[in-house]
């Protein structure tokens, strides 16, 4: 009962937010070029549905490819960090330093290096999505209960078995936490890439309608972008639900009992 009323209440907060927005725009006679009303934005989205859908594809491609590149390379480096002292000692300080850098600032540089189009977008998305994956996965793999690994040794387990049966499942909650952070970062990266170095995509629509002061279209693209982002985030959450058995979902903090 409480759950249901909370869900209803959460929904109401959204409704109230948009209602106030709509009302304020109407009462204060705010011009659409400054802030269009939610209904006007909805109308604009409907009018431009074909365009927005078409422009969603390159953005989606940039986010997905950048994210996948970050996950694969980040995972491999994390395994290196977790299992090789040399790799750990050499790369860790660099990684921490690199993580602090505002990687978005490199976007214009990538335009020079990779030209116009899909490549710079993928690179920026991958670059900022990469660090949480490496750091969290490495942390997950190294936080495995040592006694559990000794237990596997006492059974005559191979290193590969220890990895697949113990370390990897142990690290999965950490990895999923990283995936959720990284997918949102990949979205930011792709959009920034489209601001500076693209002739298509939702980021490009936002940027070009900004120049033409078509604020309604800009909002329409922002909303589409947000929906795209939410859907991709939800896909990760669903994957997590599917891959993490109940035992680990419920106590996300690790405790071997």
Partner 1 sequence: MGKAPRITIEDLSLAFRTGTGPFVALDRVSFDIAPGSFVSVVGPSGCGKSTLLKLLSGVYSPTSGRILFDGKPVEKERLQGQVGYVFQRALLLPWRTALQNVMLTMEVARRSMTRAQREAEALKWLEIAGLKGFEHRFPHELSGGMQQRVSICRALAFRPQILLMDEPFGALDEITRETLQNELLQLWQQTETTVVFITHSIPEAVILSEQIVVMSARPGRVVERINVPFPRPRVDSVREHPDFVEMAGHIRSLLHPRAHAIAAE
What DSSP assignment string belongs to the chain? -HHHHHHHHHHHHHHHHHHHHHHHHHHTT--TTT---HHHHHHHHHHTHHHHHHHHHHHHHHHHHHHHHHHHHHHHHHHHHHH-HHHHHHHHHHHHHHHHS-GGGGHHHHHHHH-SSHHHHHHHHHHHHHHHHHHHHHHHHHTS-HHHHHHHHHTT--HHHIIIIIIHHHHHHHHHHHHHHHHHHHHHHHHHHHHHH-SSSHHHHHHHHHHTT-HHHHHHHHHHHHHHHHHHHHHHHHHHHHHS-HHHHHT-S----
Residue of 19, 145, 159, 238 interacting with partner 1 (CB under 8 A): 145
CB of 250 to partner 1, least distance (A): 7
Based on CB atoms, which residue is closest to partner 1, 210 or 248? 248
CB of 134 to partner 1, least distance (A): 23
**Residue entry with tokens 């002292």:** 85
Residue of 40, 166, 177, 223 interacting with partner 1 (CB under 8 A): 166
Please choose, out of 54-62, 67-75, 196-204, 239-247, the segment that lies near partner 1 by the rule CB under 8 A.
239-247
89 binds partner 1, rule: CB under 8 A: no
164 binds partner 1, rule: CB under 8 A: no
Are 198 and 145 within 8 A, CB to CB?
no
Residue of 153, 199, 213, 239 interacting with partner 1 (CB under 8 A): 153
139 binds partner 1, rule: CB under 8 A: no
242 binds partner 1, rule: CB under 8 A: no
244 binds partner 1, rule: CB under 8 A: yes
Residue of 26, 150, 231, 235 interacting with partner 1 (CB under 8 A): 150
Based on CB atoms, which residue is closest to partner 1, 51 or 166? 166
159 binds partner 1, rule: CB under 8 A: no
Q: How many Cα atoms are found within 13 Å in the side-chain-facing hemisphere of 210?
A: 9
CB of 249 to partner 1, least distance (A): 9
Report phi then psi at 180, rounded to 5.
-70, -40
| Total residues in contact with partner 1, by rule CB under 8 A | 27
CB of 210 to partner 1, least distance (A): 48
**Residue entry with tokens 């990897």:** 168
256 binds partner 1, rule: CB under 8 A: yes
Residue of 165, 200, 210, 222 interacting with partner 1 (CB under 8 A): 165
Residues that bind partner 1 (CB under 8 A): 145, 147-148, 150-157, 161, 165-166, 169, 172, 244-248, 250-251, 254-257
């Amino acid at each position: 009962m409480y759950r249901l009323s909370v869900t209803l209440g959460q929904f109401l907060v959204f409704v109230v937010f948009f209602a106030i927005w709509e009302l304020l725009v109407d009462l204060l006679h705010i011009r659409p070029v400054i802030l269009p009303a939610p209904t006007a934005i909805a109308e604009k989205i409907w009018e431009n549905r074909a365009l927005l859908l078409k422009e969603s594809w390159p953005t989606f491609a940039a986010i997905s490819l950048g994210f996948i590149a970050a996950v694969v390379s980040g995972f491999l480096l994390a395994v290196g960090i977790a299992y090789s002292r040399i790799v750990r000692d050499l790369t860790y300080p660099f990684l921490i330093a690199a993580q602090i850098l505002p990687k978005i600032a490199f976007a214009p540089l990538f335009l020079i290096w990779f030209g116009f189009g899909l490549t710079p977008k993928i690179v920026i998305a991958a670059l900022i999505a990469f660090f949480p994956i490496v750091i969290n996965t490495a942390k997950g793999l190294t936080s495995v209960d040592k006694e559990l690994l000794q237990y596997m040794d006492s059974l005559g387990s191979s290193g590969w078995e220890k990895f697949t049966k113990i370390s990897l499942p142990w690290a999965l909650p950490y990895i999923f936490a990283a995936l959720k952070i990284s997918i949102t970062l990949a979205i930011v990266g792709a959009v920034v890439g489209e601001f500076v170095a693209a002739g298509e995509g939702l980021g490009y629509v936002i940027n070009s309608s900004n120049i033409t002061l078509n604020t309604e279209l800009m909002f329409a693209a922002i909303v589409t972008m947000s929906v795209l982002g939410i859907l991709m985030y939800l896909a990760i959450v669903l994957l997590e639900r599917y891959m993490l058995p109940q035992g680990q979902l419920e106590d996300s903090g690790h405790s071997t009992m």
